[in-house]
Amino acid sequence: MLKHRIMPTLLFKEVGLVKGIGFDSWRRVGTAMQAVKVYNMRQVDELVFLDIAATPSGARPDFQQIDELADECFMPLTVGGGVRTVEDIRELLWVGADKVAINTAAVADPGLISDGADMFGSQCITLSIDFRRAPDGTAEVVTHCGKQPSGRDPVEWAREAESRGAGEILLGSVERDGTMGGYDIEMIRAVSDAVGIPVIASGGAGSYEHLADAIKEGGADAVAAASIFHFTEMTPREAKRHLGERGIPVRH
Amino acid sequence: MSDVAIIDYGLCNLDSIRRAIEECGGAPLVTNDPGDLDTCDRIVLPGVGSFARAMANLRAAGLDEALVRCVRDDGIPILGICLGMQLLAEHGTEGGDTEGLGLIGGRVERLTPHAKERVPHIGWNDLELAAPSPLFDGIAPGTDFYFVHSHRLVGPEDERLATVDYCGTTVAAAGRDHIMAVQFHPEKSQTSGFHLLRNFLGYRC
Amino acid sequence: MVQYCTRCLYPDTKPDLSFNTEGVCSACTAFEARDTVDWEARRQEFLDTVAQYRSTDGGNYDCIVPVSGGKDSTYQVLRLLEVGMNPLCVTATTDALSEIGRRNIENIKRLGVDYIEVTTNPVVRRKINKLALTQIGDISWPEHVAIFTIPIRIAVQLGIRLIVWGENPQNEYGGPAAASGDKTLTRRWLEEFGGLLGLRVSDLLEIEGIERRNLIQYTYPDDDALQRSGVTGIFLGYYFPWDGWTNALIAQANGFEVLPTLVEGSLANYENLDNHQTGIHDYFKFLKFGFGRATDIANNHIRRGRLDREDAVRMVRTQDGKFPSTCLGKPLEETLAEIDMTIEEFHRVCDQFTNKRLFVVDSRGRPVRDAQGNLTLADTSYGRTD
């Protein structure tokens, strides 16, 4: 039986890892290398590494750094942040990423998804969707690290991405990110129901219950979390124990 | 120490498998030179991507002939991983009907999800061992390995080494004697994956 | 790309540091906040607090003071003796204790206290030092754990309910506001701010043959045991305006010994005297964040008006982040040999943890070293724009 994955997420900004709240008030929390090594020691299911400064600054991904980090990573690694072209995807896969997450560039040019999937296979292309809810509850896809509204609906965008060949969706709520107040279950459910490719829930996990909810209520295939694993006694291992107790298949 | 030729046919990153082989005590040589295959102890054929493109690249480099010669005629052990496993088969359907290397039987077709399943098949899934094989020596049935693929091998039952319960019963490992292939990624499957790689490195005909 | 505090020399690479709209870092603003504190009231609060825990019949200790023998712990012991407390001093032996460090520990005993020293299994300890160095770039990680867990374990075991710690490092070094106000040390504090860099004791199990029974002293008592024991900790730095330099003066007047020369890579001869591995520890901070111990010390002086920023910049430029070829006089190779690491391996690990964006690199992206092995910061302006 396919297990649900628990994926620690590392957010990288300029010179080091950060934690934020609502994609804002970033707080420096240490170096990427030690985080990768610790998670490797703990044999987590998969790791997500996002460079959140690359797109806003117009920089390309830091291939040298990813190369060094990937060398210490003996588990699947998804890398995103500042990926704009098929060349960027190629180079990232070359230096060691297993999957590449694309976000802003794909919204600007959805052809990037199809080009990437054609060249490297769907399984290498993860579409990262950040969304924000207006006060009336309507959701909108945002780009540029949560700063720019796109006018698109997350569910409809997810469907288009799938039809273009994306292998996976990484779905993140901007306002819930870093709050540890729970995922946006409704949106996770809406996107999971709309597509036939795996969906990873991101943004808001604060407890093991939240992780379970994202999977059971939201229908997510995998859950990504940053804050709970970096800042609390909670560990991916314990999370899996809890999920296992709730009848959710996880790897031990 | 085992000299392992890792076939580079320009399709994907080979760092992970190279380092994994190193960690497991092998001496990896990443190569696209058919000549290197004659002097190695064993071969790893990795791969991620399109069947058709992969075969085209292998042919262009003369690696297809070299692989068949070394493996079928000279008996050099080979481990195919993911797309590499599929390339060892007779036919692939992705990107048009393409001939594979024909070192194991079967054809490659797209995964068809059942009920709530999703494609690609991504994540950790547990194996059911179908036949005893040195590849799985010491690995308990039900061990999880990391899968990430949209196609699968459909091949003869007598070459089936392990299956996984996804999209019905899907072949997770296949082969006979010195020809071994796995659909999952041992180099990404941490302890269990490394155990399997060590088994491959230690395999004696 | 790196922003420096306009007052002191901290860069924004430093974890848990934030900057206000005027570009002043949280360590400086926390220091300024001291002016608003009623220190008289705090002193009284201290006296009231310790009075609650004082033994009524002299049958048990009034408190535990975790000590290393350094200037701060010497000062802490003196403060407590001065207010009539009977502390039990507890030391978690450092990893590579220096001779001067041992003499300073003996000096604490002579101040007139009972003393317990707990030494963790050195064979296991060295494995953990090496593991921590290679996995998180911090050779001193086991020490950071043990200096908290050992005194707490003793407190619980001996029924001594008060632990008096020194400064709350989050206060002096500008950590997140919530932590700065903390008076007490809970397990959560330790995990988040105790400098554990995300590595947990439980992560060590099954690596290099380390078993649960090897990690007894590193194990924090569980929440229930802690609750039942009623053990609480306080930071002396909350009640008295903390100044490491003044602590050193006071300690020296009471037998504390300093080095005749500056500690390598530092601006002080009065701290970090006890552990030959500290050079490696401080060096890795420099590799990761671009600042070392010299910066910390310069900043402490700048905040207290003893050093002007310009002079500090010049001093830090020459002293900070030196390759640790010796530490307290002991050659690096010897220290590495003790943890079974070659100098080549060491260079490899240094390289892995070097933040290439902060240093001058060659055309292949490798950090450039001078003849002594020192790296050069890419930006040595420390925020000066002239």
Q: Six-digit token pair at C34?
A: 């001291």
Residues 6+ apart with CB under 8 A from C226: C152, C156, C187
Give the DSSP H or E segment for B78.
strand B78-81
Q: Give the distance from residue A118's alpha carbon to the nearest chain B alpha carbon, in angstroms.
A: 8
Q: Do chains C and B touch (3 or more CB pairs under 8 A)?
A: no
Instruction: With CA atoms as reference, report the closest residue to C262 among C290, C287, C292.
Output: C292
The predicted model gives A107-120 an average pLDDT of 93
Selecting from A31, A231, A232 the residue whose C-beta is nearest the C-beta of C355 gives: A31
Q: What is the pLDDT of residues C290-337, one digit of tens each?
A: 999 999 999 999 999 999 999 999 999 999 999 999 999 999 999 999
Selecting from A45, A46, A96 the residue whose C-beta is nearest the C-beta of B13 gives: A96
Label residue C386 by pLDDT band (50, 70, 90).
low
Chains that touch C (3 or more CB pairs under 8 A): A
Query: What's the alpha-carbon Rg for chain B, to the nearest Å?
Result: 15
Buried b (16+ CB within 10 A) or exposed e, B184-200: bbbbbbbebbbbbbbbb
Q: What is the pTM of this model?
A: 0.84
Measure the CA angle with vertex B186, ends B184 and B190; round to 5°.
125
Question: Pick the residue with more confidence: C195 or C341?
Answer: C341
* Amino acid type, B158: D
Are the C-beta atoms of C199 and A38 separated by less than 8 Å? yes
Q: Answer yes or no: do C16 and A27 touch at CB < 8 A.
A: yes
Q: Answer yes or no: do A70 and B117 touch at CB < 8 A.
A: no
Looking at A146-150, C106-110, C225-229, which range is the least confident one? C225-229
Q: Answer yes or no: do C353 and A33 touch at CB < 8 A.
A: yes
Looking at A14-28, B55-69, B119-133, C131-145, which range is the least confident one? A14-28
Are the C-beta atoms of A181 and A227 separated by less than 8 Å? no
Q: Answer yes or no: do C16 and A31 touch at CB < 8 A.
A: no
Q: Please report, for residues A37, C204, C218, the alpha-carbon distance to residue C212 in angstroms, rounded to integers and kept in the order given.
A: 21, 9, 10
* Amino acid type, C150: I
Bridge-partner residues for B27, per DSSP?
B3
Q: Answer yes or no: do A29 and C16 touch at CB < 8 A.
A: yes
**Residue C235 clears pLDDT 60, i.e. is over it:** yes
Are the C-beta atoms of C207 and C131 separated by less than 8 Å? yes
Q: Could you give the CA distance from residue C24 to residue C22 in angstroms, rounded to a whole number?
A: 6
Q: Six-digit token pair at C48?
A: 């009231």
Q: What's the helix, strand, coil split of chain B in %, to 5?
A: 30, 30, 40
Label residue A21 by pLDDT band (50, 70, 90).
confident
**Residue C178 clears pLDDT 50, i.e. is over it:** no
Q: What percentage of residues in chain C have a pLDDT greater than 70? A: 92
pLDDT at C385: 63
pLDDT at A126: 97
**Residue C148 clears pLDDT 50, i.e. is over it:** yes
Label residue A31 by pLDDT band (50, 70, 90).
confident
Are the C-beta atoms of C218 and C142 separated by less than 8 Å? yes
Instruction: With CA atoms as reference, report the closest residue to C92 among C113, C63, C69.
Output: C69
Question: Pick the residue with more confidence: C212 or B205?
Answer: C212
Q: Could you give the CA distance from residue A76 to residue A45 in angstroms, rounded to a whole number?
A: 7
Which of B9, B12, B13 is the best residue to mutate to test the A interface, defined by the most A CB atoms within 10 Å of its own CB?
Answer: B13
Give A-chain residues touching B112 at CB under 8 angstroms: none
Residue of chain B with shortest Cα separation from A7:
B123
SS3 of residue C173 by DSSP: coil
Can you state the angle between helices A86-95 and A63-71, rounded to 10 degrees? Answer: 30
pLDDT at C216: 94
DSSP-derived secondary structure for chain A: -BPPEEEEEEEEETTEEEEEETTEEEEEEE-HHHHHHHHHHTT-S-EEEEETTHHHHTPPP-HHHHHHHHHT--S-EEEESS--SHHHHHHHHHHT-SEEEE-HHHHH-THHHHHHHHHH-GGGEEEEEEEEE-TTS-EEEEETTTTEE----HHHHHHHHHHHT--EEEEEETTTTTT-S---HHHHHHHHHH-SS-EEEES---SHHHHHHHHHTT--SEEEESHHHHHSS--HHHHHHHHHHTT-----
SS3 for C322-357, per residue? CCCCEECCEEHHHHHHHCCCCHHHHHHHHHHHCCHH
Instruction: With CA atoms as reference, report the closest residue to A9 among A219, A201, A210, A147.
Output: A201
**Residue C179 clears pLDDT 60, i.e. is over it:** no
DSSP-derived secondary structure for C194-210: SS-TT--GGGGTTSTT-
Looking at A200-209, B157-166, B167-176, C205-214, which range is the least confident one? C205-214
Are the C-beta atoms of C233 and C184 separated by less than 8 Å? yes
SS3 of residue B153 by DSSP: strand
The predicted model gives A211-228 an average pLDDT of 92
Residue A67, Cβ density class (10 Å: 0-12 exposed, 13-18 middle, ≥19 buried): middle
Q: Six-digit token pair at C377?
A: 């910061």
Query: What's the alpha-carbon Rg for chain C, to the nearest Å?
Result: 21
Q: What percentage of residues in chain C have a pLDDT greater than 90? A: 77
Looking at A83-97, A167-181, C164-178, C347-361, which range is the least confident one? C164-178
Query: What is the DSSP-derived secondary structure letter of residue C380?
Result: -
Determine phi and psi for A17, rounding to 5 degrees: -75, 150
pLDDT at C15: 86
Question: Pick the residue with more confidence: A191 or C198?
Answer: A191
Q: Give the distance from residue A164's alpha carbon to the nearest chain B alpha carbon, in angstroms.
A: 14
Q: Six-digit token pair at A86?
A: 């098929």
Mean pLDDT for chain C overall: 90
Which of A68, A123, A197, A243 is the best residue to mutate to test the B interface, defined by the most B CB atoms within 10 Å of its own CB?
Answer: A123
The predicted model gives C45-72 an average pLDDT of 94
Can you state the angle between helices A185-194 and A154-164, rounded to 10 degrees? Answer: 30
SS3 for A111-165, per residue? HHHHHHHHHHCHHHEEEEEEEEECCCCCEEEEECCCCEECCCCHHHHHHHHHHHC
Q: Answer yes or no: do A16 and C355 touch at CB < 8 A.
A: yes
Q: Could you give the CA distance from residue C29 to residue C177 in angstroms, rounded to a whole number?
A: 11
Q: Please report, for residues B78, C308, C381, C382, the alpha-carbon distance to residue C386 in angstroms, rounded to integers and kept in the order given.
A: 64, 17, 9, 11
The A-side interface with B (CB below 8 A) comprises 1-5, 43, 45-46, 67, 70-71, 74-76, 93-99, 118-124, 167-168, 195-198, 221-222, 251
pLDDT at A248: 95
Instruction: With CA atoms as reference, report the closest residue to A45 among A81, A17, A73.
Output: A73
Q: Could you give the CA distance from residue C311 to residue B135 in angstroms, rounded to a whole number?
A: 66
Q: What percentage of residues in chain A have a pLDDT greater than 90? A: 62
SS3 of residue C83 by DSSP: coil
What are the E-state strand segments in C49-102?
A: 63-66, 87-92
Q: Answer yes or no: do A3 and B123 touch at CB < 8 A.
A: yes
**Residue C177 clears pLDDT 50, i.e. is over it:** no
Instruction: With CA atoms as reference, report the closest residue to A158 among A198, A208, A194, A107.
Output: A194
pLDDT at C188: 61
Selecting from C13, C17, C136 the residue whose C-beta is nearest the C-beta of A34 gives: C136
Q: Give the distance from residue A119's alpha carbon to the nearest chain B alpha carbon, in angstroms.
A: 7
Looking at the complex, does the CB of residue C1 fall below 8 Å from at least one CB of chain A? yes
Q: Answer yes or no: do C176 and A37 touch at CB < 8 A.
A: no
Active site residues of B: 82, 185, 187
pLDDT at C175: 54
The count of CB pairs under 8 A between chains A and C is 78
Q: Please report, for residues A135, B148, C114, C117, C130, the alpha-carbon distance to residue C120 in angstroms, rounded to integers and kept in the order given.
A: 57, 45, 20, 10, 15
Q: Could you give the CA distance from residue A65 to residue C365 in angstroms, rounded to a whole number?
A: 10
Q: Give the distance from residue A30's alpha carbon to the nearest chain C alpha carbon, in angstroms.
A: 5
Chains that touch B (3 or more CB pairs under 8 A): A
pLDDT at A57: 82
pLDDT at A43: 86
Residue of chain A with shortest Cα separation from B117:
A196
Determine phi and psi for A127, rounding to 5 degrees: -90, 120
How far does Cα C290 stand from its chain's mean position?
18
pLDDT at A54: 83
The dihedral sign for the CA sequence C188, C190, C192, C198: negative
pLDDT at B101: 95
Looking at the complex, does the CB of residue C200 fall below 8 Å from at least one CB of chain A? yes
pLDDT at C187: 63
Are the C-beta atoms of B81 and B182 separated by less than 8 Å? yes
Looking at the complex, does the CB of residue C199 fall below 8 Å from at least one CB of chain A? yes
Give the DSSP H or E segment for B89.
none
How many beta carbons lie within 10 A of that of residue C275, not counting itself? 24
Q: Answer yes or no: do A3 and B20 touch at CB < 8 A.
A: no
Q: What is the pLDDT of residues B180-190, one digit of tens each?
A: 999 999 999 99
Instruction: With CA atoms as reference, report the closest residue to C327 among C147, C101, C120, C71.
Output: C101
Q: Answer yes or no: do C355 and A34 touch at CB < 8 A.
A: no
Q: Six-digit token pair at A65?
A: 């750094």
Q: Answer yes or no: do A121 and B123 touch at CB < 8 A.
A: no
Number of H helices and number of E strands within chain B?
6, 13
Give A-chain residues touching C1 at CB under 8 angstroms: 14-15
Chains that touch A (3 or more CB pairs under 8 A): B, C
DSSP-derived secondary structure for B154-177: E--GGGEEEEEESSSEEEEEEEET
Q: Please report, for residues A189, A232, B78, the alpha-carbon distance to residue B154 in angstroms, rounded to integers and kept in the order given.
A: 33, 46, 19
Q: Six-digit token pair at A202?
A: 């991101």
Q: Give the distance from residue B85's alpha carbon to the nearest chain A alpha carbon, in angstroms.
A: 16
DSSP-derived secondary structure for B3-72: EEEEE--SSS--HHHHHHHHHTT-EEEEE--HHHHTT-SEEEE---S-HHHHHHHHHHTTHHHHHHIIII
Are the C-beta atoms of A15 and C358 separated by less than 8 Å? yes
Mean pLDDT for chain B overall: 93
